[in-house]
Amino acid sequence: MIKATRLTVAALLLGASALTASAEGFMPANPECIAPANPGGGWDFTCRQVGKSLQDQGLIDKTMQVSNLAGGGGGVAYAEVVNKRNDNNDLIVAASSATATRLAQGAYPGNTKDQVRWLASVGADYGVIAVAANSPITTLPELLEQIKTDPTTISVAGGSAVGGWDHLKVLIAANAYGVEDVRSVKYIAFDGGGEAVTQLLAGSVQAFTGDISEAKGFVDSGDIKVIAVLAPERLGGEFGKFPTAKEQGVDAIGANWRGFYAPGGMSDEAYAGWVEKIGALYASDEWKGIMEANGLAPLDLQGPAFEQFVSDSVAQIESISKEIGIIK
């Protein structure tokens, strides 16, 4: 059996770096952020929060246009950037562990991690497993026991494609609980966490796997209950009321890094400018407040350090995916 610790993607790594290239004077003329999913999910959250904060702090002087380009677990957006917008200096794209997962599994046909430029991280978002507020299931072991004994009765929805990061998170938990064949877990993919939660509320599925930032609005509205956070210990602030998987006897950790990539043909000046702007945003008190309010953990990486981190993540997820039979 695979130990949960071996399935933990290195999204908890903390570090700091500075890009030495000069970025003075760069200001995007028409700043745009692509969220590679429908509104309401983690990529959408990343684009909108970062775009607003960049403008609020004067780091950009125009409103960030957010374009939702769903499909293929981020693959449609990736292909659009690589094939049609490769030299756009005004464009950034929200990315996460889900992006690294799809790249690791070769799920973006003809595309590799080296075709874009990796900018910076803005935090790490712990995974959650949740059920509808009126569900009879109240703990993670209850859910996993039902999956273990009668897998056909539980469908789990997520905002990443089959084999993607949301899928891997529930497999990590199932494996840690002792589900010997994690392929028996019924996972249904949707284009973004918002759509997945909508299906949970409609009763089409019995559980949701996503990230804390995706779940927060639905928790606040009373629609869902989080039965486990995939963090090593309880989060701070208002998120402290949610139990970890670990304290329920399920040794599963899953943290989703959040950050951005840019077109591969972006100029060095624009690349350095965006790295500098996102780094300044991350260091601000305003962003620290946003991280705390949305359950984001620290992850401070810019430029080459972030590029190396993504490369390592892709290699690690490729190894994990082979081990649990998602790829050969």
* Residue 249, pLDDT above cutoff 90: yes
Q: Identify the weakest region by mean pLDDT among 5-14, 106-115, 280-289.
A: 5-14
Grade residue 24 by pLDDT with cuts at 50, 70 and 90.
low
* Residue 145, pLDDT above cutoff 90: yes
Q: Higher pLDDT residue, 7 or 246?
A: 246
* Residue 16, pLDDT above cutoff 80: no
Residue-wise pLDDT tens digits, 208-220:
999 888 888 899 9
Q: Higher pLDDT residue, 8 or 59?
A: 59
CATH architecture of 12-124+256-323: 3-Layer(aba) Sandwich (3.40)
Supply the mean pLDDT for the chain.
89
Q: Identify the weakest region by mean pLDDT among 162-166, 215-219, 254-258, 323-327.
A: 323-327
Where in the chain are the domains? 12-124+256-323, 126-248
Residue 107 half-sphere exposure toward CB, CA atoms < 13 A: 27
Q: Helical H runs in the chain?
A: 42-56, 75-84, 97-104, 140-149, 165-177, 193-201, 212-220, 268-283, 285-293, 304-323
Q: Is 323 helix (H, G, I), strand (E, B) or coil?
A: helix
Share of the chain above pLDDT 90, in %: 69
Grade residue 51 by pLDDT with cuts at 50, 70 and 90.
very high
pTM, full prediction: 0.76
Domains 12-124+256-323 and 126-248 share a fold: yes
Round to whole Å and give the CA distance between 180 and 135: 26
Mean pLDDT value across residues 226-249: 92
Grade residue 23 by pLDDT with cuts at 50, 70 and 90.
low
Name the residue among 112, 82, 83 with its Cα closest to residue 100.
112
Grade residue 166 by pLDDT with cuts at 50, 70 and 90.
very high
Grade residue 245 by pLDDT with cuts at 50, 70 and 90.
very high
Q: Report the pLDDT value the prediction gives residue 121, as an integer from 0 to 100.
A: 96
Q: Report the pLDDT value the prediction gives residue 160, as an integer from 0 to 100.
A: 86
Round to whole Å and give the CA distance between 143 and 131: 9
Q: Report the pLDDT value the prediction gives residue 7, as an integer from 0 to 100.
A: 36
For domain 126-248, give the CATH number.
3.40.190.10
Round to whole Å and give the CA distance between 52 and 50: 5
CA-based max dimension of the chain: 61
Residue-wise pLDDT tens digits, 277-313:
999 999 999 999 999 888 888 899 999 999 999 999 8
Q: For the chain, how many helices (H) and strands (E)?
A: 10, 10
Residue-wise pLDDT tens digits, 185-202:
999 999 888 899 999 999
